[in-house]
Amino acid sequence: MIKGKAFKFGDNISTDHIAPGRLAHLRSDLPRLAEHVLEDADPTFAARVKAGDFVVAGGNFGLGSSREHAPLIIKMAGVSAVLAKSVARIFFRNAINLGLPVLICDTDKIDDGDELEVDLASGTINDKTNGQKLTFSPIPGVMLAILEAGGLMSYIKKYGGFKMGDA
Amino acid sequence: MGKTVAEKILKLKSGGDARAGDIVISAVDLVFVQDTTGPLTVREFEKSGLECLVNPQKTVFFLDHAAPSPNRQLSTDHILLRRFAREKGARLYDVGDGVCHQTVAEALAGPGDVVVGADSHTVTAGALGAFATGMGSSDVAVVMGLGKTWFRVPETIRVEVSGRFKEGVSAKDLILHLIGLIGADGATYKALEFGGAAVAGMSMSDRLTIANMAVEAGAKVGLFPADDVTRRYLEAQGRVGDYRPLAADEDAVYEKTISIDAGGLEPTVSRPHTVDNTATARELAGTKIQEVFIGTCTNGRLEDLAVAAGILKGKKHHPDTRLVVAPASRKVLLEAMAAGYIQTLVEAGAALVTPGCGACLGIHQGVLGDGEAALSTANRNFKGRMGNPEAFIYLASPATAAATAINGHITDPREVL
Total residues belonging to chain B: 417
Chain A: closest CA distance from residue B203 (Å):
26
Predicted TM-score of the model (pTM): 0.98
Whether A13 is covered by a domain: the verdict is yes
Residue whose C-alpha is closest to residue B167's, from B344, B400, B375, B325: B400
Q: For each of chain B's 417 residues, which pLDDT tens digit applies?
A: 899 999 999 999 999 999 999 999 999 999 999 999 999 999 999 988 888 999 999 999 999 999 999 999 999 999 999 999 999 999 999 999 999 999 999 999 999 999 999 999 999 999 999 999 999 999 999 999 999 999 999 999 999 999 999 999 999 999 999 999 999 999 999 999 999 999 999 999 999 999 999 999 999 999 999 999 999 999 999 999 999 999 999 999 999 999 999 999 999 999 999 999 999 999 999 999 999 999 999 999 999 999 999 999 999 999 999 999 999 999 999 999 999 999 999 999 999 999 999 999 999 999 999 999 999 999 999 999 999 999 999 999 999 999 999 999 999 999 998
Could A27 and B36 be called an inter-chain contact, meaning their C-beta atoms sit closer than 8 Å?
yes
| Three-state SS letters, A10-32 | CCCCEHHHHCCHHHHHHCCCHHH
CB-closest option in A20, A21, A63 to B218 = A63
Contacts with B, A 28-57, CB within 8 Å: 28-29, 39-40
Q: Which residues of B touch A94 (CB under 8 A)?
A: 135-136, 138-139
Please say if the pLDDT value at position A167 is more than 80.
no
- Give residue-wise pLDDT tens across range B357-396: 999 999 999 999 999 999 999 999 999 999 999 999 999 9
State the CATH class of domain B268-415: alpha beta
CB B66 within 8 A of CB B37: no
- Give residue-wise pLDDT tens across range A31-61: 999 999 999 999 999 999 999 999 999 999 9
Contacts with B, A 59-98, CB within 8 Å: 59-60, 63-69, 71-72, 86, 88-90, 93-94, 97-98
Whether A18 is covered by a domain: the verdict is yes
Chain B: closest CA distance from residue A21 (Å):
5
What is the C-alpha to C-alpha distance for residues B128 and B246, in angstroms, rounded to an integer? 10
CATH number at residue A119: 3.20.19.10
The count of CB pairs under 8 A between chains A and B is 157
**What is the per-residue burial (b if ≥16 Cβ within 10 Å, else e) of B94-128?**
bbebbbbbbbbbbbbbbbbbbbbbbbbbbbbbbbb
Whether A143 is covered by a domain: the verdict is no
CB-closest option in B65, B76, B136 to A90 = B136
Superfamily of domain B7-151: Aconitase, domain 3 (3.30.499.10)
**Range list for CATH 3.30.499.10 in chain B:** 7-151, 268-415
CB B176 within 8 A of CB B270: yes
Instruction: Give the nearest chain B residue to A40 (CA atoms).
Output: B389
**Range list for CATH 3.40.1060.10 in chain B:** 154-244+252-265
Architecture of domain B154-244+252-265: 3-Layer(aba) Sandwich (3.40)
CB-closest option in A97, A161, A164 to B139 = A97
For B162, other C-beta atoms within 10 Å of its C-beta total: 14
**What is the per-residue burial (b if ≥16 Cβ within 10 Å, else e) of B185-214?**
bbbbbbbbbbbbebbeebbbbbbbbbbbbb
Whether A34 is covered by a domain: the verdict is yes
Chain A: closest CA distance from residue B11 (Å):
15
Whether A162 is covered by a domain: the verdict is no
**In terms of residue numbers, what domain contains A55?**
2-136
Q: How many domains, in total, are found in chain A?
A: 1
Q: Phi first, then psi: what are they for B182, rounded to 5°?
A: -100, -15
Whether A156 is covered by a domain: the verdict is no
Whether A94 is covered by a domain: the verdict is yes
Could B120 and A65 be called an inter-chain contact, meaning their C-beta atoms sit closer than 8 Å?
yes
Question: Which carries the bigger pLDDT value, residue B257 or residue A140?
Answer: B257
Interface residue A12 vs chain B (CB under 8 A): yes
Could B136 and A68 be called an inter-chain contact, meaning their C-beta atoms sit closer than 8 Å?
yes
Please say if the pLDDT value at position A72 is more than 90.
yes
DSSP B226: B
pLDDT given at position A150: 95
Beta-strand runs (E) in chain A: 2-8, 54-56, 81-84, 102-104, 115-119, 124-127, 133-135
Whether A147 is covered by a domain: the verdict is no
